Amino acid sequence: MDEMYDNDLDIDDVIEILEEGFDCSRSKRSDGITERCIQKGDKIVKAVVAETDCHYVITHVGVFTASRRKLTQFKRRR
């Protein structure tokens, strides 16, 4: 969660990523785990959440710079 605060992100940003983002998982995730990303300039903001019976638990939020190749791969998946 430190990276969330270090990058000035809050729960509203995570909700936006989950609603409007694209699937950016690099490998198969377990059932109930969702990994979504959104592009902001040359940065990719990733949110990983686990779905429980009645709510979601934020497991990871990260910001990274994607190479031109990775950005192209992400865009093809949309």
The pLDDT of residue 78 is 58
Per the DSSP assignment, residues forming a β-bridge with 22 are: 37
pLDDT at 59 over 80: yes
Q: What residue segments make up the domains of the chain, in order of their start?
A: 2-77
Lowest mean pLDDT among 15-19, 22-26, 47-51: 22-26
Instruction: Please count the other Cβ atoms lying within 10 Å of the Cβ belonging to residue 45.
Output: 23
The pLDDT of residue 1 is 59
Question: What is the reported pTM?
Answer: 0.78
The pLDDT of residue 17 is 94
The pLDDT of residue 77 is 61
